[in-house]
Amino acid sequence: MPNLAKTDGTALKLLWLAVLVLVLDQLTKAWALQNLQLHQPMPILPNLNFTLAFNEGAAFSFLSEMGGTQRWLFSGLAVVVSVLLIWWLRKLPNQLNCETLGLNLVLGGAVGNVIDRVLAGKVTDFIDFYIGNWHYATFNVADIAISVGAFCLIVQEFWLKPRQAKQQVEQTTQATQANDHSENTQASDKNV
């Protein structure tokens, strides 16, 4: 397990973002449990209801018919992923960027949903987006955080990192060319 006490200069100092997501997720779920009736929509905006629902499976109720085994399977998987995300954050510098933001969003969301699974055996969902008669799977703040966090990590890996690598190569090439030019100038000055 990662040593959380050793945060100097690492992105672990940004764990407050994951904690913020976790608190927001748990507060909104508590509100939903107190104020919503199961499967009774509360209109919020056009195409958006708050509708209390429970998910015993993974995304889109995947594997929800496993008879309870999925509770511990998904909880264990989320704990392993959370430990890996903390280890990853420990390896990164203390900078708020797309990568550290994405990792913290995924971590906070994963822990938020695992708390539901461990305590209740199911995840509380309440955000119901729809168009006409078509309804997207009901979700929660943790799911939003996980999705946005995954998007941030994809952007980091496939767009930002290649751009940064290209800039680094260009800077190295320019520095090498400037150094070569300086050496050639000094050599020609000695020959004169």
Strands 48-55 and 123-131: antiparallel
Q: Of the residues 25, 125, 180, 189, which is catalytic?
A: 125
Region of 150 (left: φ > 0; alpha: ψ -120 to 50; beta: rest) is alpha
Active site residue 189: no
Closest CA to 108 of 136, 149, 72: 149
Q: Of the residues 25, 116, 128, 143, which is catalytic?
A: 143
Q: Which residues of 41-77 are buried (b: 16+ CB within 10 A; e: fewer)?
A: eeeeeeeebbbbbbbbbbeebeeeeeeeebbeebbee
Angle at 135 between CA 133 and CA 138, to 5 degrees: 155
Closest CA to 119 of 61, 54, 65, 40: 54
Active site residue 125: yes
Q: Is residue 107 a contact partner of residue 18, using CB atoms and an 8 Å limit?
A: yes
Q: Is residue 9 a contact partner of residue 100, using CB atoms and an 8 Å limit?
A: no
Any idea which residues carry the catalytic annotation? 125, 143
